[in-house]
Structure 1
Amino acid sequence: MKRGYPESPSSSFGPPQSRFKHNPEGDAQFLEDENTKIFARKVADHYSARTNQTLEEREASPIIHLKKLNNWIKSVLIQLYARRGDAVLDLACGKGGDLIKWDKAKVGYYVGIDIAEGSIEDCRTRYNGEADHHQRRKKFTFPARLICGDCFEMRLDRVLADDAPFDICSCQFALHYSWSTEARARRALANVSALLRPGGIFIGTMPDANVIIKKLREAEALAFGNSVYWVQFDEEFADKKFKSSNPFGIKYKFHLEDAVDCPEWIVPFHVFKLLAEEYDLELVFVKNSHEFVHEYMKKPEYIELMRRLGALGDGNQDQSTLSPDEWEAAYLYLSFVLKKRGQPDRTQANSRRDKGQMQIAKGDILFINSDD
């Protein structure tokens, strides 16, 4: 299960050539062109258009065990790094699929932000207990706020001035959408850094550029995949080489059965690490999903969690476990943990949390845009 490929095939990527200087106060000009905004809107529309599934529909998904495996990985990350009473910032929170995970961690406050209006509305109804297709559950124990806007474009420290600082920030299977331009990548990291307290934790999952580029170079054409996913690069990358002078905007089309069908962007991880350091975010660890499973399945508490989630099935039926094609798809992803420099200060008042609601009405959702 360990990573089965040589030294990073994406090592030709160099550090970003900064076109503007990082300002710790967040006043740098993060400019975007219209094409970038169009792509961001396409991604938002794609996720908004995806309807909530019933339990029966979900269990019939061709990638049900991959979804459960990804949920296990996110659950382990949250269990490892969330603490009772933590204030949580969930970037690209989607339909609120991680709300129960945060509740089990007994966090104290939650702010979710997503670009897709339909997803935020689904998150609201899930938080209120109105649309949980899995079971009728008791109310969540933490107050929450929901915001609709592009967290990779908007400056969030002004919007969340009364809510910050946060103890933990999460961005699951979404940060690569910020890598379409240097401006968006920087804005994403600037937002995380500005809103985390010193010593605060940033957890996330995203595609593993090393694996994707390795598979591209092994493929005869510009596409590769299997029965549950495929990746397609454009002809501009016919030589399968990437300019070290610009590690941003390397776009590919990604399709995952019953989940994703939209453009994504390569995130060369060592460039991501260097860029994060500019914003006082230091790497704690990065692990490919295969390596992650190999390591944490050695621990009894996470073996039991895997059993409860059913990601690896019970072995009683042919379709009851993770298929080889799903396992290959899992190899496309990695998990990371970053920590903000500085000493923790937990003496700050929690008065910020009075903005949260225990029942969120439609009118409570805050909509933000670049004109705000």
Structure 2
Amino acid sequence: MHFLTNFLRPKIVFTKLCTPKLVKQEIIKKYDFLNRVNFHINYLIILELVNSLSQQKKSITNSLTSCHELPTSCFANVETKETTPESREHSKLPLQKIIIKPGKRNQSKIYHLRNLNNWIKNMLIIEYITKIREHHPSSGDSLRVLEMCCGKGGDLLKYSKQNIAHLICTDIAEISLNQCKKRYYRLAQSCQSCFSAEFFLSDCSRDRLRAQYKSPWLEHHLVSCQFALHFSFESYQQADCMIRNASECLQSGGFFIATIPNANEIMRRLRESSDGRSFGNEYYNLQFLSDTQPPPIFGAKYLFQLEGVVDCLEFLVHFPTLVKLCRKHGLQLDKVNSFSEYFEASSKRGENLLRKTECLQTVYIEKDSKIEENFSHIENFANENQCWSNNYGTLSKPEWEIATLYLVCAFRKCDNTWDDELNPIYNFDS
């Protein structure tokens, strides 16, 4: 902005009637104007948008696999035998030969599932912070992150281990946000050099976050929204506001990462259910409250109940629509994987963390021994590979069934120029 002449700098007059909030909004408006003029003067190039969503190289639908294509991740140094499609529904549950570690065990029925979800978030954060630092070495230790719908702050330690410089946390629930603050203060006291942070109460699907930042022109390198983006798909306006908030202050080349329910998998299971309205197992239940033939793009509402953790209304995310909304705001799809795909792709590099965080339950099996039905996939694996008397780390069938309801996705913020009316024109790769 330094090269703009004085006559381009609008003056802001402060009067006694100006509240701090109004002053901040006025500053944002002026900054938006200057930012557009800035780019308009420097580039003076108008590019055409290239390739619509329908021209993408790969169909999103084909990239989302079903629960019947679960990966095998075995570190027992044995080769798995081929199985027929009919026999492999649960044979590809994650299996890992491990050593039993004595210690306390959480009594939650979905303890290992929750740890696995946490591991996937961790791997996703590590992957994209690494990418940012590789492609933008200048970011160094000055990396800034926005966490939308931060909840109780379960990811604070993850960011601390990645040595970020600044974190902005926002959530709609005041109680959760206060717990997040307390976690941060405890973390800051225990670390010699902890990242700075700011917290504010806000609905990311209705409020403009930028107006609440201490520095509204601050750009982020990474924006994260974990297990929450789908709530914005109640309406187009809410989803559009959520994506705008993710993109608006994201630096070119930065990433927006998220974990969301896999709508394709949900609808597949619904079609196979007995009543066509609900499905689940002993740990979870999903019941539709809206039309399903077909479900609406926005407002496809269902009640989701998860053992001792969740009991609330959620909304399907029509993924092609999410991609289109993101492109509207300059975000290009970089990755989409089902949890099972992402586990298989990441388990090798994340093996140590997988063990450390107790994502997999220890099961010991001997030949001709009886085993619980929820772990019968281990018996099948042992029979096929003739590897008995081993300790295996795995998930129960019901837990894996829940895990495979979700997917990970990531979007990259594209460079842009400006047209004659100072509207952004984004430079997409495809």
User: What TM-score do the two structures reach when normalised by structure 2?
Assistant: 0.62
Q: 1: CA distance between counterparts of 2:224 and 2:254?
A: 11
Q: 1: CA distance between counterparts of 2:358 and 2:213?
A: 37
Q: How far off is 1:5 after superposition?
A: 6.7
Match of 2:106 among 59, 62, 71: 59
Q: Does 1:330 align with 2:403?
A: yes
Q: How far off is 1:4 after superposition?
A: 3.5
Q: How far off is 1:315 after superposition?
A: 3.5
8 A contact 1:127–1:140 mirrored in 2 = no
Which residue pairs with 1:171 in the alignment? 225
Q: Identity across aligned pairs (percent)?
A: 37
Q: 2: CA distance between counterparts of 1:315 and 1:304?
A: 18
Match of 1:242 among 294, 312, 316: 294
8 A contact 1:103–1:140 mirrored in 2 = no
Q: 1: CA distance between counterparts of 2:180 and 2:193?
A: 13
Q: How far off is 1:314 after superposition?
A: 3.7
Q: Does 1:104 align with 2:158?
A: no
Q: Does 1:307 align with 2:355?
A: yes
Please, which moves more after superposition, 91-100 or 157-166?
A: 157-166
Tell me: CA distance 1:165–1:260, structure 2 relative to 1, closer, same or farther (3 Å).
same
Q: Secondary structure at the match of 2:400?
A: helix
Q: How far off is 1:193 after superposition?
A: 1.1
Tell me: CA distance 1:304–1:268, structure 2 relative to 1, closer, same or farther (3 Å).
same
Q: Does 1:279 align with 2:352?
A: no
Q: How far off is 1:312 after superposition?
A: 1.2
Q: How far off is 1:128 after superposition?
A: 1.1
Q: Secondary structure at the match of 2:194?
A: coil
| Paired residues, number | 282
Q: 2: CA distance between counterparts of 1:262 and 1:87?
A: 32
Q: 1: CA distance between counterparts of 2:338 and 2:192?
A: 35
Task: For residues 88-142 of structure 1, give each alpha carbon's deviation from its aligned partner in whole angstroms, at most 9, with x where no partner exists.
Answer: 1000000000000000111110010000000011001111118x9xxx9546610
Q: Which amino acid aligns with 1:76?
A: M
Which residue pairs with 2:32 in the alignment? none
8 A contact 2:113–2:395 mirrored in 1 = yes
Q: Secondary structure at the match of 2:342?
A: helix
Q: Secondary structure at the match of 1:147?
A: strand
Match of 2:316 among 254, 257, 266: 266
Q: 1: CA distance between counterparts of 2:364 and 2:197?
A: 41
Q: Secondary structure at the match of 1:95?
A: coil
Which entry has the higher C-alpha Rg, 1 or 2? 2
Match of 1:150 among 203, 206, 211: 203
User: What TM-score do the two structures reach when normalised by structure 1?
Assistant: 0.71
Q: 1: CA distance between counterparts of 2:324 and 2:407?
A: 17
Which residue pairs with 1:159 in the alignment? 212
Task: For residues 191-220 of structure 1, give each alpha carbon's deviation from its aligned partner in whole angstroms, at most 9, with x where no partner exists.
Answer: 111110111110110100001111111112
| Pairing of 1:178-217 with structure 2 (within 5 A) | 178-217=232-271
Q: Secondary structure at the match of 2:264?
A: helix
Which residue pairs with 1:9 in the alignment? none
Tell me: CA distance 1:241–1:143, structure 2 relative to 1, closer, same or farther (3 Å).
same
Q: 2: CA distance between counterparts of 1:232 and 1:66?
A: 21
Q: 1: CA distance between counterparts of 2:118 and 2:148?
A: 16
Match of 1:3 among 28, 48, 65: 65
8 A contact 2:200–2:212 mirrored in 1 = no
Q: 2: CA distance between counterparts of 1:108 and 1:248?
A: 37
Q: Secondary structure at the match of 2:304?
A: strand
Q: Which amino acid aligns with 1:166?
A: H
CA RMSD in angstroms, aligned pairs only:
2.4
Q: Secondary structure at the match of 2:255?
A: strand
Q: 2: CA distance between counterparts of 1:249 and 1:223?
A: 17
List gaps (5 residues or longer) in structure 2.
Answer: 1-63, 69-102, 134-140, 366-371, 376-392, 417-430
8 A contact 1:93–1:112 mirrored in 2 = yes
Q: Secondary structure at the match of 1:60?
A: coil
Q: Which amino acid aligns with 1:77?
A: L
Q: 2: CA distance between counterparts of 1:223 and 1:340?
A: 37
Task: For residues 217-255 of structure 1, give each alpha carbon's deviation from its aligned partner in whole angstroms, at most 9, with x where no partner exists.
Answer: 111211100011110012x52xx3126xx5000000000
Which residue pairs with 1:339 in the alignment? 412
| Pairing of 1:68-147 with structure 2 (within 5 A) | 68-82=115-129, 83=133, 84-129=141-186, 137-138=190-191, 141-147=194-200
Q: Does 1:224 align with 2:272?
A: no
Q: How far off is 1:166 after superposition?
A: 0.5
